[in-house]
Chains A and B, each alone.
Chain A
């Protein structure tokens, strides 16, 4: 039962990503990206990582989609003739992608690479709050610095002359 759900999720994840890449309209591409994010969230819940999954859902499916949609809204819309030309162009460029993916998928699935881990899982600390606040607090500092740098960058980009 669980395996069937895993198979559906894995296939859905790949199909959503491929649709995102191959569709002609940018808006549909962004919707595909949000769907990919939602499927990834469900996979993360299945793999016992709920906190990161909530982050993924709220930030990647919500905030990043909003950023992309607002930026697409600020650019010019394509006319129908331009869209028809783009569609043909995309089809000629991207027909190879599904072929590559199917071949790579079959090859990787049958390769059965053995995993080698130099770890002792029994002693592992698994409380994510403890890890974030006590073990990897320098990461938090880095995150704060990078957020400030990003905010500063956006302010510099949009400041009036």
Chain B
């Protein structure tokens, strides 16, 4: 890490003594990210997979807001978070629509039963 810092150009701000709240929320966001990935990997239920995706985006939202607060650019971070939330809603709405269509066809929302998709 010290090598990276020594190669940085002049005028770069380096925060060595990170405020305690950044560390706290950063670690909690990382843990929620792990929980979301674990849910996505382990589950076969399509609705639960979408819930895992939601948890992932919550963690990313917290990371963006935290980065904005750390750099003093909360306005830009909020603009990005709002964009992320809008995209998240659209993705979830379309994905739930696809899940319901799958349920209509095979009467199940188990991903293991989706191996015979034709046409």
- Given the interface contacts A49-B74, A126-B73, A131-B75, does A71 sit within 8 Å of B47 by beta carbon? yes
Write the nearest CB–CB distance from A49 to chain B, whole angstroms.
5
Q: Does B119 contact A (CB under 8 A)?
A: no
Q: Which A residues, 141 to 158, have Cβ-Cβ distances below 8 Å to chain B?
A: 142-143, 146-147, 149-150, 153-154, 157-158
Main secondary structure of the interface of B (DSSP, over half): helix
Check if A146 sits within 8 Å of B18, measured CB to CB.
Answer: no
Q: Which among B4, B14, B62, B83 is the interface contact of A117 at CB below 8 angstroms?
A: B14
Q: Which among B16, B23, B72, B90 is the interface contact of A150 at CB below 8 angstroms?
A: B90
Write the nearest CB–CB distance from B79 to chain A, whole angstroms.
5
Check if A51 sits within 8 Å of B27, measured CB to CB.
Answer: no
With CB as the reference atom, state the residue of chain A lying closest to B104: A74
* Interface range on chain B (Cβ under 8 Å from partner): 35 or more
Q: Which B residues, 15 to 33, have Cβ-Cβ distances below 8 Å to chain A?
A: 15-16, 18, 20-28, 30-32
A39–B18 alpha-carbon span in the complex (Å): 23
Interface set of B (CB-CB < 8 Å, partner A): 1, 4-5, 8, 11-16, 18, 20-28, 30-32, 34-36, 38-39, 42, 45, 47-48, 50-52, 54-55, 58-59, 61-62, 65-66, 68-79, 81-83, 85-94, 96-101, 103, 107, 109
Given contacts A17-B31, A36-B32, 15 further A-B contacts (CB under 8 A): A13-B28, A13-B32, A17-B58, A40-B58, A49-B68, A55-B81, A56-B81, A60-B54, A64-B88, A114-B15, A115-B14, A132-B82, A143-B87, A150-B94, A154-B94
